[in-house]
C-alpha cells in the first residue's frame, strides 16, 4: 500500500468586497485625482514603471489620505485577520495593520517585474478596473531556486512553476509577502487599475 502526500503547500486568500461597483467608482475617482497631482510619483514611474503609473514611491499611505481608501482598508482588515488565522499564526498580544497602500495604473504594454515585499508579512492586490485583455497576476513557485537539475514536468495545473490569479474588478488576493510575483505586459486597450497593500504585525496598545 502506497500513496502520494502533498506537503508544504503555499496558501492564497481570494475573495471580493461587498458593494464593489460603487466602491470602485469612488476609488477610480481618487486614483484619477491623486495621480494627476503626484509629480514625484509620475517622475519615479517614468524611470521605473514602463508606460504606467504607481504611487509606490510617493503616495504609499493612501489609507490615511482618502476616506474611500480608509473604507477600503476597513473592509480588508477582517480578511487579512482571517487569512493569518488560517495560516496558524500566533498573534497573542499583537495584531495585523495595513501599513502601506498604493495605486497602480497599467496602460497597454506596461508591466511589473518579478519581486517580493520585504518588511511586511501579508501583501495583497485589489482590482479596481480590469478592461478586456487585462493581464493577470503571476505567482512563482517558492521552491524555484531549489529545483536545480529536476526533470522537465508534463504540463498541468499542479505541475506548473507559476500560478495565475485572474484580474477581475471587485476582487482581491492576499498572499504571504515572501512569495515572489510579477505582472506581465498588459494587453488591454484601456488602463488596468489596481491597489496594492502590505500588512505588518504590531503590538496591541
pLDDT in tens, 140-154: 999 988 888 888 888
Tell me, yes or no, whether 32 lies in a domain: yes
Q: What's the pLDDT at 85?
A: 95
**Strand residues in 119-191 grouped as ranges (E):** 122-129, 137-140, 162-165, 171-176, 181-183
- Domain hosting 43: range is 12-87+96-145+153-203
Asked if 149 contacts 110 with a C-beta cutoff of 8 angstroms, the reply is no
Tell me, yes or no, whether 120 lies in a domain: yes
Cell digits for 16? 471580493
Q: What's the pLDDT at 205?
A: 77
What is the percent of the chain where pLDDT is above 90?
83
Tell me, yes or no, whether 61 lies in a domain: yes
Tell me, yes or no, whether 5 lies in a domain: no
In this predicted model, what pLDDT tens digit does every residue of 6-38 receive, in sequence order?
888 999 999 999 989 999 999 999 999 999 999
Within 10 angstroms of residue 140's Cβ, the number of other Cβ atoms is 16
Q: What's the pLDDT at 149?
A: 87
Of residues 205 and 3, more confidently modeled: 3
Residue 52 and residue 112: Cα distance in Å, rounded? 10
Provide mean pLDDT across the span 105-113.
Answer: 95
Residue 91 and residue 89: Cα distance in Å, rounded? 6
* CATH number of the structural domain spanning residue 194: 2.60.120.620
pTM score:
0.94
Tell me, yes or no, whether 56 lies in a domain: yes
User: Of 68, 62, 63, 71, which is closest to residue 26 (Cα–Cα)?
Assistant: 68
Residue with cell 496602460: 107
In this predicted model, what pLDDT tens digit does every residue of 46-92 receive, in sequence order?
999 988 999 999 999 999 999 999 999 999 999 999 999 999 999 98
Asked if 121 contacts 176 with a C-beta cutoff of 8 angstroms, the reply is yes
CB contact set of 155 (below 8 Å; sequence gap of 6+) = none
Tell me, yes or no, whether 136 lies in a domain: yes
Residue 6 and residue 18: Cα distance in Å, rounded? 34
**What strand order describes the sheet that includes 122-129?**
12-16, 171-176, 122-129, 192-203, 94-106, 53-54
Asked if 101 contacts 73 with a C-beta cutoff of 8 angstroms, the reply is yes
Tell me, yes or no, whether 4 lies in a domain: no
| Total tally of structural domains belonging to the chain | 1
Residue 141 and residue 161: Cα distance in Å, rounded? 5
Q: What's the pLDDT at 50?
A: 83
Report CA-CA distances (Å) from 53 to 68, 73, 138. Answer: 20, 21, 19
Q: What's the pLDDT at 68?
A: 98
Provide mean pLDDT across the span 95-109.
Answer: 97
Within 10 angstroms of residue 34's Cβ, the number of other Cβ atoms is 18
Provide mean pLDDT across the span 156-171.
Answer: 87
Tell me, yes or no, whether 21 lies in a domain: yes
Q: What's the pLDDT at 148?
A: 86
Q: Is the pLDDT of residue 157 over 70?
A: no
Q: Is the pLDDT of residue 155 over 80?
A: no
Q: What's the pLDDT at 150?
A: 84
Mean pLDDT of the chain: 94
Provide mean pLDDT across the span 172-178.
Answer: 98
Residue with cell 478592461: 131
Amino acid at each position: 500500500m502506497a500513496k502520494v502526500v502533498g506537503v508544504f503547500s503555499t496558501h492564497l486568500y481570494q475573495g471580493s468586497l461587498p458593494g464593489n461597483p460603487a466602491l470602485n467608482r469612488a476609488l477610480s475617482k481618487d486614483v484619477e485625482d491623486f495621480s494627476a497631482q503626484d509629480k514625484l510619483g509620475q517622475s519615479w514611474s517614468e524611470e521605473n514603471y514602463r508606460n504606467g503609473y504607481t504611487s509606490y514611491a510617493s503616495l504609499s499611505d493612501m489609507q490615511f489620505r482618502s476616506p474611500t481608501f480608509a473604507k477600503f482598508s476597513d473592509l480588508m482588515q477582517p480578511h487579512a485577520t482571517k487569512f493569518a488565522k488560517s495560516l496558524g499564526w500566533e498573534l497573542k498580544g499583537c495584531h495585523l495593520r495595513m501599513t502601506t497602500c498604493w495605486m497602480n495604473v497599467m496602460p497597454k504594454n506596461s508591466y511589473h517585474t518579478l519581486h517580493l515585499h520585504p518588511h511586511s508579512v501579508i501583501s495583497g492586490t485589489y482590482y479596481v478596473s480590469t478592461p478586456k485583455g487585462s493581464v493577470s497576476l503571476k505567482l512563482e513557485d517558492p521552491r524555484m531556486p531549489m529545483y536545480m537539475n529536476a526533470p522537465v514536468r508534463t504540463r498541468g495545473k499542479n505541475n506548473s512553476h507559476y500560478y495565475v490569479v485572474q484580474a477581475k474588478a471587485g476582487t482581491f488576493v492576499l498572499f504571504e509577502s515572501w512569495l515572489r510575483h510579477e505582472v506581465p505586459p498588459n494587453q488591454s486597450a484601456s488602463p488596468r487599475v489596481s491597489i496594492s497593500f502590505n500588512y505588518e504585525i504590531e503590538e496591541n496598545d
